[in-house]
Amino acid sequence: KNEVEQSPQNLTAQEGEFITINCSYSVGISALHWLQQHPGGGIVSLFMLSSGKKKHGRLIATINIQEKHSSLHITASHPRDSAVYICAVRSRVNTDKLIFGTGTRLQVFP
Amino acid sequence: DAMVIQNPRYQVTQFGKPVTLSCSQTLNHNVMYWYQQKSSQAPKLLFHYYDKDFNNEADTPDNFQSRRPNTSFCFLDIRSPGLGDAAMYLCATSWTYNEQFFGPGTRLTVL
C-alpha cells in the first residue's frame, strides 16, 4: 500500500463544475504539497499546507492532520485546469524528501 | 521573475553518449534537487544538494552524477545513457526543506 493515496485516479468534468480531489497518507508529516502537471510539462507548486485551509483564486486546499487527509477543490472548473494533480507529503522522519501520490488526471470539457 | 530554469527543454542523445542537463535558479535557494519522471509515474528523487553537501539516494545508479559549482547552478551528468534512461528530468529548489519550486523539465530521448 502506498504511503500517499489519491482518489480518484481519473476525473472528467464539464466546464463550471466543482471538483474535489482527495489525498490520504499514512505517515506523520511536517507538510503536504499539492502540485499540478500539465501533459508533457513541468510541475507547478499550488499549495504547501501543514494545517487548516489555503485559497488561491479558484483553488482551495484543506488538510485534517488528525485524519491524515487533504482535499484540493477547484471551483468553476475550466478546460485549462485539465492536468495531473499530485499530492506529496514531507514526512517528519525523512524531512529531506517528498513522498508522492500517484496523481489524479483531470479532464475538463467545454 | 524569480524562477527555476532548465536547459535544454528537449535533449536527444545516442545510446552510451554522455549528456549533461542544466538547471539554474534565481531564487537563491540553498537546496537543489534532481528528479527522474517516466511516463505516468511519480517523480523519483535521484539526489539533492543542501548547500554544497551532496545527498545521493540509495537506489540512484552510478551512471548518474551531479555537480553544483555555485548556488545558482546544478548539473545532471548521465555518463552512459541507456534506453531506460529516457525520461523527463525535473530540477527543483527550496529554501532548506520547505516548499519546492520546480523547473519546466528536460525531456531526454535516447536513440
Q: Nearest-CA neighbor of B63 among B36, B96, B98?
A: B36
The secondary structure of B36-69 as a DSSP string is EE-TTS--EEEEEEETTEEEE-TT--TTEEEE-S
Each residue's pLDDT tens digit, B3-30: 999 999 999 999 999 999 999 999 999 9
- Residue B1 pLDDT: 64
- pLDDT band of residue B59 (cuts 50, 70, 90) is very high
Dihedral of alpha carbons A82, A84, A90, A91, sign: positive
Residue A1 pLDDT exceeds 80: no
Q: Give the Cα separation of B108 and B46 in Å (integer).
A: 15
Q: Per-residue pLDDT averaged across A37-61, rounded?
A: 92
Whether residue B60 lies within 8 A of chain A, CB to CB, comes out as no
| Residue A6 pLDDT | 96
Q: Do A96 and B103 touch (CB under 8 A)?
A: no
pLDDT (average), residues B65-77: 97
- The answer to whether the Cα torsion of A61, A36, A23, A21 is positive or negative is positive
A93 Cα to chain B: minimum distance (Å)? 12
Task: Measure CB to CB from residue A98 to each of B50, B100, B107 and give the nearest one.
Answer: B100
A-interface mutation test, from B102, B106, B108, most A Cβ less than 10 A away: B102
Rounded Cα distance between A82 and B46, Å, is 28
pLDDT of B21 reads 97
Say whether pLDDT at A93 is over 90: no
